[in-house]
Amino acid sequence: MNRGRRLRTNPLIRGMVRETRASRDSLIYPIFFEEGNNIKAHIDSLEGQYRYSPDRAKEAIDDCLSHGVNKVLLFGIPKEKDSVGSQAYAENGVVQQAIREIKKEYKDEIYVITDVCMCEYTSHGHCGILNGNQVNNDETLKYLSDIALSHVKAGADMVAPSDMMDGRIAAIREKLDGAGFINTPIMSYAIKYASSFYGPFRDAAGSAPSFGDRKAYQMDFGNMREAIKEANFDEEEGADILMVKPALAFLDVIRELSYNTNLPIATYSVSGEYAMIKNAGKQGLINEYGVMCETTTSMLRAGADILITYYAKEIADAILRGDIG
């Protein structure tokens, strides 16, 4: 008689035959940096998350390293915004300051990835340059390339464009290569859906559009074939890593992408996913820790190699305990 339970009798054998493995090396922790000094402000919509000023970057990074997380994704909140998001590519912009502070203190001990977009920096909250009420795709490419280059010049190890403009990977690759940064990787938000799961992030980053929505450039959540097409475009243009965002509602997309690329696949477990688990746990409706472990494993099981998550530090601890992977 076949007995599946033979391989479930105790934790040692369950660990030995576990099909999905996790590593702290795969975790990326998002950090928000706000222009100013001596700032550590709690983000009410994201319990346990903070906005830091660049001069307090050490506090945020030390906390990450204490959990074994050595990769971070930086977002910036400037004091001043304008129609062309000029603080996004300013030499002394908030993200550029944060990169320098981190690299001055840690050098190669921490791997710094930067979000490349304009929504946090434009007065209208859209991800590019406007022509009337429409985002001008091709004009935006120059600005995105300038943002990426400014981050790398400041010391960023990798750039991650999240705007969903057509052709931006090629434009950024050309810009970086032309400036001599041929070895700087690009992690593309290749498959980014127009999702209702982004709400808490937009509150945290002050990036909600002042009119309309982003459905003209972010993807329709009903589409799978289009997702693979978008990822193929970015791979052809020179992306080094492909991302699916959000994660939990799109595990099938992660799986399908894993069949269609040889590049590493990242997924971003976004603010809404984190907030739902956090708040349900707080109300005693679920076991927060257990759900965190299950959902994390589901992303890896679907085919993700890299996880961007606000739970990165807690997941790293869970991996060490053997509760994940």
Which residues are known to be catalytic? 192, 245
Question: Which H or E element spans position 23?
Answer: none
Question: Which H or E element spans position 65?
Answer: helix 57-66
As a dihedral over the C-alpha atoms of residue 229, residue 233, residue 236, residue 239, rounded to 10 degrees, the angle is -110
Cβ neighbours, 10 Å, residue 85: 28
Q: Are 189 and 218 in contact (CB under 8 A)?
A: no
247: phi then psi, degrees, rounded to nearest 5: -105, -60
* Distance from the Cα of residue 251 to its chain's centroid: 16
Residue 236 tokens read as 């052809």
Q: DSSP strand E in 65-201: where?
A: 71-77, 111-116, 130-131, 134-135, 158-161, 187-192
The string over 24-37, giving b where at least 16 C-beta atoms fall within 10 Å of a residue's C-beta and e elsewhere, is: bebbbbbbbbbbbe
29: phi then psi, degrees, rounded to nearest 5: -105, 125
* DSSP states of 162-200: -S--TTHHHHHHHHHHHTT-TT--BEEEEEEB--GGGHH
- Please enumerate in sequence order all residues whose Cβ is within 8 A of that of 83, keeping only pairs 6 or more positions apart, or say none: 122, 123, 124, 129, 130
